Chain A
Amino acid sequence: MAFRWKNTLTHDDVTPEAHWLNRRQLVAGMAGAGLATMAGGASADSPKPDSWEVITSYNNFYEFGTGKGDPVKHAHRLTTDPWSVRIDGMVDRPGDYAFKDIMAKMQIEERIYRFRCVEAWSMVIPWNGFELKDLLDLAGVQSGAKYVAFETLYRPEEMIGQKYAVLDWPYVEGLRLDEAQHPLTLMATGIYGKAIPNQNGAPLRLVVPWKYGFKSIKSVVRITLTDKEPPTSWNKANGREYGFYSNVNPNVDHPRWSQASERVIGGGLLAKRQPTLMFNGYGPEVMALYEGMDLKKYY
């Protein structure tokens, strides 16, 4: 069901470059005067979305290289048409779902979300997409299912970063079923009303705005419903640093750096850091999912 969640961030259709530079002052003001509103979570006044250039030229997509600029350089090799997503496991209607058929059935809406990387930087991104729940409903989730596993395309001849064993390819991710069915959980197919560029995870990717960015798996080719917690790539690579949940949490540091604050990308050389919000500011919406859980243990 579309439109279950209403955008809390503002958005100008076309925002001139100068505005992005002014964000610096906005953010600086926020750090002081905004603390009270921040406690309120998602209602906090947030800066406008980053520019198309920022969002599409600064990417972590190790399938195309480990540098932030590698994906925009190499992702053009990726063939995204035809594309299909295999939905299998504990579903009533397993099978290969063509991307075109999915798009024909889904209602696309805009979601302006904060995006917080585990590396302690952040952006604001105007996604277009549909709720993951709608896609899961299309396949019919069976009653015993508890988790959703995701898989990125493995095609080293096009995804040249996959020739190096930086991670155990293909990239895999997972969510608990209730997280996957949450109205905030999006399958993004566009940015700024345009088809999502390859370097951002074309043709469709997951977006879970209250979790660190690496949970939001890109270029998805498989979705599997299961009753067991699925393995996830960064957890396999370093379980002490990257947990299954990986909710944005300023109180639980990454072993190698603090998560209490974040660098705002696109603010220029002198941009001020801003405090990181619990659940990336989406606490009011998602807190109930983790009631009674020790978030230091389930990081």
Chain B
Amino acid sequence: MVDALNRTLRRFPVWPIYAVAALWPAWLLWQGLNGALGVDPVKVMEHALGEKGLQMLILGLAITPMRRYLGLNLLKFRRAIGLVTFWFIFLHLCVWLILDVQIVAQIWGDILKRPYITLGMTGLVLMVPLAATSNNWSVRRLGSSWRRLHRLVYLVAILGGVHFLMLVKGFQWEPILYLAVILGLLGLRLAPKRRVRLT
């Protein structure tokens, strides 16, 4: 069954991922401007972009374990998923800067003084080199150091999960589940690799 799925996925093009990623935020913005996001559209946009970014990050991290343990090959979509993650989190920042906080002095104060914002910003900044090297030319040029560089995504994922956990009020399960899934996916990578026996 996995083989059939893999065959189908091989025929499926990558470009629709980029198309949806470009159109969805525009649709959100259109809804927000037209009062279709409720009485607090700023928070709805901010949270939707942050949450989708975190989900894409998790999806990207799941690709290697899915291939290793389930035989499901989504590798060809991984670059698109990574770039879309960066795009959503970048827009998440833009909404926060432009529509939410607005006041420049307060923005710097928040980034430096508030740990959850400091962590979130760090995560986004660390994604910049990853997004910038998500192209064939960089992969060729950087060789084996490309792989090492892109291990930064593990740190980015933890920062993203902790950022969510730290911003909620009271004891809430949702951010705990996100962080647990992230740590679980990272933990799977620590398991010893199965050797192929040549007997």
Interface residues of A (CB under 8 A from B): 53-54, 57-58, 62, 66, 68-69, 119, 121, 164-167, 234, 237-238, 253, 255-258, 260-261, 263, 265-266, 268-273
Contacts and interface: CB of A to CB of B under 8 A. Distances in A.
A12 B183 CA distance: 54
A143 B29 CA distance: 58
A272 B33 CA distance: 14
B103 interface: yes
A178 B163 CA distance: 40
Interface centre among B37, B40, B115, B116 (most CB of A within 10 A): B40
B167 A256 contact: yes
Nearest to A166: B170
B108 to A, nearest CB: 11
Contacts of B41: 268-269
Contact of B38 (A58, A253, A270, A272): A58
Contact of A257 (B32, B114, B170): B114
A258 B110 contact: yes
Given A57-B38, A265-B39, A258 B172 contact: no
A263 B100 CA distance: 8
Contacts of A255: 114
Contact of B32 (A164, A166, A238, A269): A269
Contact of A269 (B42, B101, B115, B171): B42
B170 A62 contact: yes
B39 A54 contact: yes
Contacts of A273: 101-103
Given A66-B169, A256-B115, A269-B45, 12 more contacts: A68-B40, A164-B173, A165-B171, A167-B170, A167-B171, A237-B171, A256-B166, A258-B106, A268-B33, A268-B41, A269-B42, A273-B101
B168 to A, nearest CB: 8
A265 B40 contact: yes
Contacts of B109: 258
B131 to A, nearest CB: 27
A63 to B, nearest CB: 12
Contacts of B33: 268-270
Contacts of A237: 169-171
Nearest to B168: A66
Interface string B139-168: 000000000000000000000000000111
8 contacts: A68-B43, A256-B115, A256-B166, A258-B106, A263-B42, A263-B100, A269-B33, A273-B101
B35 interface: yes
A66 B43 CA distance: 14
A260 B102 CA distance: 12
Contacts of B168: 66
B172 A166 contact: yes
Give 9 closest A-B pairs by Cβ, nearest first: A269-B32, A166-B170, A269-B41, A54-B39, A58-B39, A273-B102, A167-B170, A266-B39, A166-B171
Contacts of B26: none
A257 B46 CA distance: 16
A237 B170 CA distance: 6
B94 interface: no
Given A62-B170, A256-B166, A269-B32, A53 B39 contact: yes
B116 A256 contact: yes
B99 interface: yes
Interface string B8-51: 00000000000000000000010011010111111101000000
Interface string B88-118: 0000000000011111001001100111100
Contact of B110 (A57, A68, A257): A257
Nearest to B95: A269
Contacts of A270: 33, 99
B172 to A, nearest CB: 6
A57 B166 contact: no
Given A66-B172, A166-B170, A269-B33, A57 B103 contact: no
B69 to A, nearest CB: 32
Nearest to B32: A269
Contacts of B45: 269
A194 B35 CA distance: 25
B116 A66 contact: no
